[in-house]
């Protein structure tokens, strides 16, 4: 059930939006993690749209705040290299495994365990790799992530693999450290092939806090797309709208659970319909 359904069923009786309705709509938008400023901008726009029904107006206005950028993964003719970045716990490693599974029917996939700061992170990726039958390149604990990236791109060439997915560390305590590390990994890959995508993983259940983290990452690296995880655990999916409105980075995939199949392309129209109906 959409987050605005209670509200919409009530206003349908009059088909007109009055001040108390608009206040209630603003509250619902904010409760859905859309953020106060954007919620008020949406209200103003809905008010100006007199011709349509409130439901149609809301649909049009919400859709207009989503990114117009391409949502499919851009692929390269040789190796498609994809870096996956984001704060610890958001779902990077799981998303790397899900993406690998998703790409497997299009060619050989190699995974790089470049989060070398946590032994558990490497083991976790290896376990996924075994389960889905994908090679995982790793280094020793605390080894240089860029050296893992180097080994991984070498392996990718050796196997003539079509995809290289790189899992990275998510420490946020020092922005310039983070930037240096991610840039170094990128440089190592780009000696061989361009990095096609840098996907930022955001946990939908962290709401506006997740948006703040996203801003820090977007300043540190050139993010080309977002994977919004744990939408299954969040009744407040409005965060997708807040992210796209403020960063104009397209959400390319959504995570809808903990198993390998729980990844879906993000469809703006369906998303908005889901919020409303």
Query: Of residues 117-156, which lie at the interface with ligand GDP (CB under 6 A)?
Result: 124
> Which range of residues in 69-77, 88-96, 98-106, 213-221 is near Mg ion by CB under 5 A?
88-96
Q: Sheet containing 225-229: which strands, arranged edge to edge?
A: 135-137, 109-114, 163-168, 80-85, 195-203, 225-229, 251-255, 263-265
Give first-to-last CA distance, the chain, whole Å.
7
Instruction: By CB under 5 A, name the one of 67, 90, 93, 256 that touches Mg ion.
Output: 93
Among the listed residues 230, 234, 238, 272, the single contact to ligand GDP using CB under 6 A: 230
Sign of CA dihedral 217, 218, 221, 223: positive
Site string for ligand GDP, 170-199 (x = CB under 6 A): x-----------------------------
In angstroms, give the least distance from the CB of 266 to ligand GDP.
13
Tokens of 213: 């983290």
Q: Judged by CB under 6 A, which of 57, 80, 93, 156 binds ligand GDP?
A: 93
- The pair of structure tokens assigned to 75 is 């692929």
Stretch near ligand GDP under the rule CB under 6 A, chosen from 49-57, 149-157, 158-166, 255-263: 255-263
Could you say which of 24, 262, 273, 274 contacts ligand GDP (CB under 6 A)?
262
Of the candidate spans 103-111, 186-194, 213-221, 224-232, the one that interacts with ligand GDP by CB under 6 A turns out to be 224-232
Give yes or no for residue 148 binding Mg ion (CB under 5 A): no
Residue 150 to residue 187: CA distance in whole angstroms: 10
Q: Which residues bind ligand GDP (CB under 6 A)?
A: 86, 88-94, 124, 170, 201, 229-230, 232-233, 255-258, 262
């Amino acid at each position: 059930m959409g987050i605005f359904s209670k509200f919409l069923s009530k206003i349908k009786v009059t088909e007109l939006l009055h001040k108390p309705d608009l206040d209630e709509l603003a509250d619902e938008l904010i409760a859905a993690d859309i953020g106060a400023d954007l919620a008020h901008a949406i209200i103003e726009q809905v008010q100006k749209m007199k011709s349509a029904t409130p439901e149609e107006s809301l649909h049009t206005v919400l859709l207009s705040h989503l990114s117009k950028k391409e949502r499919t993964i851009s692929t390269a003719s040789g190796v498609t290299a994809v870096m996956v970045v984001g704060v610890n716990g958001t779902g990077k490693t799981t998303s790397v495994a899900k993406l690998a599974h998703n790409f497997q029917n299009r060619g050989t996939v190699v995974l790089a365990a470049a989060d070398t700061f946590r032994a558990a992170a490497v083991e976790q990726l290896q376990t996924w790799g075994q389960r889905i039958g994908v090679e995982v390149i790793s280094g020793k604990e605390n080894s240089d992530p860029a050296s893992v990236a180097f080994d991984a791109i070498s392996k990718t060439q050796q196997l003539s693999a079509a995809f290289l997915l790189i899992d990275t560390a998510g420490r946020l305590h020092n922005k310039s450290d983070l930037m240096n590390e991610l840039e170094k990994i990128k440089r190592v890959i780009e000696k061989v092939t361009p990095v096609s995508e840098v996907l930022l993983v955001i946990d939908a259940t962290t709401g506006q806090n997740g948006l703040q983290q996203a801003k820090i990452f977007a300043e540190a690296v050139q993010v080309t797309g977002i994977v919004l995880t744990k939408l299954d655990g969040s009744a407040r999916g409005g965060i997708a709208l807040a992210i796209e409105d403020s960063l104009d980075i397209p959400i390319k995939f959504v995570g809808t659970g903990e198993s390998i199949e729980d990844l879906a392309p993000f469809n703006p129209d369906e998303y908005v319909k889901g919020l409303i109906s």
